[in-house]
């Protein structure tokens, strides 16, 4: 058997690995045939347009042998092939050789391939599980309306960055800046989704206010923006999101709708639905802005029970958390003990080190819910306006 390409005397052995071949680069081969060639690594593929030296090596590396007679036959075949010359008179180099493809070997190759496939599947499932865990601790979590993988990673990166900035600043964070950091590089739908979760009007935090947060903290403010609930969406009062609530979850809706999917979780607090201390493989408590940022409605019966993981975030003087008490901690070892902490009653905001605190008054739960709903509508309206203008 030959270990060099049959017809490429001047071939340079740059990496042209089989996996990198566009499938179409084997023009006369059906995909199934290509597949079978890849799987069985049939050395008898003399008709193949693109003989692949790597595949040849792969075949020879097969550690498993057939019975003794079979092996002897193969060795005899190899000896006969030694010192053969190719069409150009070049002596083929010695070394590992292709071994005769036998039915048994093909079967073993198939079995190994299937095992490798199973391992790869399992590995990817583990990766997806980890990604799902990540989704739970970044802003805007929803089990039914998942962020895409890439958006999850981007948002997580931005989230870490924004939190780092907040902590390093050691002072009350600026919501606008935080959200801007959070949304850097995100797609428009995801940006609006985040905005919806943050109860911000996306266009506002992206373009307006000169860095000043104008987070609406009063009913009057909202009423000025939206005379009645749903008016901004052209829906009847109280109707707005109900249709979305009943809509079948879909890829589309998970990207482009907000209120209907998120309104049920206004009072939710913990990303883990109150399962204190539980998070898949998580070492430290999740950095979560739940109650404002991360909204989860999959375990509504548990939401709000625990303040373990929710991070109160209030950047607006005069306005506190949007939900009940919770605590955010970094570095449970205490070496770098930060708290961002608000208490719902006479809410106290703590940011930075233990010695750095700022106190802010808070809202009652009723105004929280109202503001949240209106904020979501604002975000949705913003997005709808954006799509219409495109």
Partner DNA sequence: TAGGCCATCTGGTCCT
Partner DNA sequence: AGGACCAGATGGCCTA
Backbone angles phi, psi at 350, to 5 degrees: -125, 130
19-27, 85-93, 157-165, 295-303 -> range binding DNA (CB under 7 A): 19-27
Instruction: Count CB-CB contacts under 10 A for residue 139.
Output: 29
CA distance 276 to 274: 5
Q: How far is the CB of 199 from DNA (least distance, A)?
A: 23
In this chain, which of 4, 5, 8, 38 binds DNA, going by CB under 7 A? Answer: 38
Residue 334 within binding range of DNA, rule CB under 7 A: no
The rounded Cα 213 to chain-centroid distance in angstroms is 29
CA distance 194 to 208: 17
Q: How far is the CB of 105 from DNA (least distance, A)?
A: 12
Residue 143 within binding range of DNA, rule CB under 7 A: no
Return the number of the residue (259 or 352) whose C-beta is nearest DNA.
259
Nearest to 201, CA basis, from 384, 381, 389: 381
In this chain, which of 71, 79, 94, 123 binds DNA, going by CB under 7 A? Answer: 123
Q: How far is the CB of 111 from DNA (least distance, A)?
A: 10
Q: How far is the CB of 135 from DNA (least distance, A)?
A: 10
Nearest to 321, CA basis, from 345, 300, 337: 345
Residue 119 within binding range of DNA, rule CB under 7 A: yes
Q: Which residues pair with 239 in a beta bridge?
A: none
The region, left, alpha or beta by phi > 0 then psi within -120 to 50, assigned to residue 140 is left
1-9, 113-121, 312-320, 325-333 -> range binding DNA (CB under 7 A): 113-121
Residue 107 within binding range of DNA, rule CB under 7 A: no
Return the number of the residue (149 or 337) whose C-beta is nearest DNA.
149
Residue 90 within binding range of DNA, rule CB under 7 A: no
Instruction: Please enumerate in sequence order all residues whose Cβ is within 8 A of that of 43, keeping only pairs 6 or more positions apart, or say none.
Output: 1, 56, 59, 98, 99, 100, 101
Residue 246 within binding range of DNA, rule CB under 7 A: no
Please, are residues 5 and 27 in contact by the beta-carbon 8 Å criterion? no
Burial of 313 (0-12, 13-18, 19+ CB in 10 A): buried
145-153, 199-207, 305-313, 321-329 -> range binding DNA (CB under 7 A): 145-153
Q: How far is the CB of 167 from DNA (least distance, A)?
A: 29
Q: Count residues contacting DNA (CB under 7 A)?
A: 48
CA distance 312 to 331: 17
Backbone angles phi, psi at 342, to 5 degrees: -130, 140
157-186 residues in contact with DNA (CB under 7 A) are: none
Q: How far is the CB of 61 from DNA (least distance, A)?
A: 5
CA distances from 213 to 34, 152, 372 (A): 59, 25, 16
121-129, 221-229, 281-289, 306-314 -> range binding DNA (CB under 7 A): 121-129
43-62 residues in contact with DNA (CB under 7 A) are: 52, 54-55, 58, 61
Return the number of the residue (88 or 388) whose C-beta is nearest DNA.
388
What tokens were used for 198?
């943050």
Q: Which residue matches tokens 């890439």?
A: 150
Residue 125 within binding range of DNA, rule CB under 7 A: yes
Which positions lie near DNA, rule CB under 7 A? 15, 17-24, 31, 35, 37-39, 41, 52, 54-55, 58, 61, 63-64, 112-121, 123-125, 128, 146, 148-151, 187, 248, 250-253, 256
């Amino acid at each position: 058997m030959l270990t060099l390409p049959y017809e490429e005397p001047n071939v340079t052995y740059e990496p042209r690995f089989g996996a990198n071949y566009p499938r179409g680069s084997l023009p006369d081969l059906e995909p199934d045939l290509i597949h079978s060639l890849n799987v069985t690594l049939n050395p008898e593929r003399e008709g193949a347009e693109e003989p692949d030296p790597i595949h040849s090596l792969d075949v020879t590396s097969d550690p498993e042998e057939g019975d003794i007679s079979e092996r002897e036959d193969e060795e005899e075949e190899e000896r006969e092939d030694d010192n053969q010359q190719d069409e150009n008179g070049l002596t083929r180099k010695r070394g590992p050789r292709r071994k005769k493809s036998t039915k048994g070997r093909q079967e073993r190759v198939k079995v190994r391939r299937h095992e490798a496939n199973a391992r790869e599947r399992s590995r990817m499932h583990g990766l997806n599980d980890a990604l799902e865990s990540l989704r739970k601790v970044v802003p805007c979590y929803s089990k039914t309306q998942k962020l895409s993988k890439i958006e999850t990673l981007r948002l997580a990166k931005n989230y870490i960055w924004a939190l780092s900035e907040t902590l390093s600043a050691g002072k009350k964070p600026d919501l606008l800046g935080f959200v801007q950091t959070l949304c850097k590089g995100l797609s428009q739908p995801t940006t609006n989704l985040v905005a919806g979760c943050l109860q911000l009007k996306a266009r506002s935090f992206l373009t307006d206010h000169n860095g000043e947060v104008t987070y609406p903290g009063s009913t009057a403010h909202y009423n000025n923006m939206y005379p009645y609930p749903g008016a901004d969406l052209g829906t009847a009062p109280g109707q707005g999101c109900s249709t979305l609530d009943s809509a079948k979850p879909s890829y589309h809706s998970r990207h482009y709708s907000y209120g209907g999917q998120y309104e049920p979780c206004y009072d939710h607090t913990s990303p883990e639905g109150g399962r204190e201390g539980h998070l898949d493989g998580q070492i430290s408590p999740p950095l979560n802005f739940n109650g404002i940022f991360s909204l989860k409605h999959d375990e509504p019966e548990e939401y709000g029970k625990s303040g373990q993981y929710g991070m109160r975030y209030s950047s607006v003087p005069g306005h506190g958390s949007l939900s009940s008490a919770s605590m955010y901690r970094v570095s449970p070892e205490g070496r770098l003990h930060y708290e961002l902490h608000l208490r719902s009653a006479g809410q106290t905001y703590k940011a930075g080190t233990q010695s750095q605190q700022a106190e802010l008054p808070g809202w009652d739960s009723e105004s929280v819910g109202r503001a949240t709903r209106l904020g979501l509508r604002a975000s949705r309206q913003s997005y709808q306006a954006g799509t219409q203008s495109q």
